[in-house]
Amino acid sequence: MIRFEHVTKRYADGTTAVDDLSFEVAEGELVTLVGPSGCGKTTTMKMVNRLIEPTEGRIHVDGQDISEVDPVRLRRRIGYVIQQVGLFPHKTVLDNTATVPHLLGVTRAKARARAAELLHLVGLDPSVHGDRYPDQLSGGQRQRVGVARALAADPPVLLMDEPFGAVDPVVREHLQSEFLRLQSEMRKTVLFVTHDIEEAVRLGDRIAVYGQGRIEQFDAPATVLGAPATPYVADFVGADRGLKRLSVTPIEEGDLEQPPIVHLDDALPRELRSRWAVVLDRDDNLHGWISAERAAGGTGTVRDHARRMEAWLPLGASLKQAFATMLQHDAGWIAVIDREERGRFLGVLTPARLHEALRRSTAADAQDIPRTEVAVESIG
């Protein structure tokens, strides 16, 4: 969808900002460009909408060589969000958002109706915020308007240059989550510039880690964190990359242990093969747990003695969520359920298994094989 072929940009003063860059962003993919200040991220991005012309090489958008497309027409197909949102100060939020569709010939009434929808989509209430002026909004709200405005013409491609850079970390995380939710529905082709590795890892389907004017590694977040291609990348992603990996490594079925299981209507078991058992209902959905001690001393059915289980997650949740859930509930294990089949119990994740999953996924990335195929011996 966006393809760079041997693109170089040398500025008039001789600075080589981008050096022989080749990479591709697939349709519907979100690629984050991450790297230190001055490494050429913004230059890369601005060449896509022809705010900057390359010195050498070609860029294709949607199969078309953009040097042959009129820049104004090109930009209609490409949404652009920047840190200093660049809203028109004398226009209301609604009119700011409606500007581009209106310019494209949509009637004012229709453009405003669409703008109201988009404001909703980015979490702003048009009846509350629509008639305000940009300086009557918080920084986070202005960023949302910036995103809504970039989406107004429904462009297939979005360029985002540190769009959440100017807000505090809490608002930023919130904006990131909302953007991920939006993107899972819209599936735009997105090039997203950031200097924050956490943001790059969280948002990107793939990450391009920049050195000076060059891409040092272009891979999925888990691979960049688990198997940095060069010492430079390892240094850039940080010594705590194991921790960061937790957030991009999902719980898989192979990570789970199978504990003893009892059902709600069973008679109390005299003995369990461990200190506790998981309690399921008639449909094999998770209900809770029962301790061996309680089972041994009691009478009646499991139902009379079972406790509800609060520490559970759906399969596919991240190892980081698993760890946080264990801490939050002070639990020695968490239950994992099927996310499609209305809570069918799949197994439990223990701290030892979590640790093993993390090491296994690191080894898998280094060997470029699925996690389930990593031999346990090679983890050590």
Ligand X SMILES: Nc1ncnc2c1ncn2[C@@H]1O[C@H](COP(=O)(O)OP(=O)(O)OP(=O)(O)O)[C@@H](O)[C@H]1O
Binding site for ligand X (CB under 6 A): 11, 13, 15, 17, 35, 37-43, 195
Distance from the Cα of residue 352 to its chain's centroid: 26
- Could you give the C-alpha distances from 37 to 40, 123, 141, 167, 176, in angstroms and in order? 8, 31, 26, 18, 21
Of 372, 35, 83, 358, the closest CA to residue 226 belongs to 358
- Angle (CA) 327-333-336 rounded to 5° is 105
In the complex, the smallest distance separating the C-beta of residue 227 from ligand X, rounded to whole angstroms, is 24
Q: Which is nearer to ligand X, 42 or 96 (CB)?
A: 42
In the complex, the smallest distance separating the C-beta of residue 7 from ligand X, rounded to whole angstroms, is 12
Q: Which is nearer to ligand X, 49 or 249 (CB)?
A: 49
In the complex, the smallest distance separating the C-beta of residue 336 from ligand X, rounded to whole angstroms, is 40
In the complex, the smallest distance separating the C-beta of residue 12 from ligand X, rounded to whole angstroms, is 6
Q: Which is nearer to ligand X, 9 or 371 (CB)?
A: 9
Contacts (Cβ under 8 Å, ≥6 apart) of 333: 257, 259, 311, 326, 348, 349, 350, 351
Q: Which is nearer to ligand X, 217 or 325 (CB)?
A: 217
Cite the beta strand spans of 68-141 per DSSP E.
Answer: 78-82
In the complex, the smallest distance separating the C-beta of residue 191 from ligand X, rounded to whole angstroms, is 12
Q: Which is nearer to ligand X, 3 or 195 (CB)?
A: 195
Q: 122 by DSSP, 3-state: which? A: coil
Query: Taking a C-beta distance cutoff of 8 angstroms, is the pair 259, 276 a contact?
Result: yes
In the complex, the smallest distance separating the C-beta of residue 44 from ligand X, rounded to whole angstroms, is 7
> Which phi-psi region, left, alpha or beta, contains residue 120 (left: φ > 0; alpha: ψ -120 to 50)?
alpha
Q: Which is nearer to ligand X, 132 or 214 (CB)?
A: 214
Distance from the Cα of residue 174 to its chain's centroid: 12
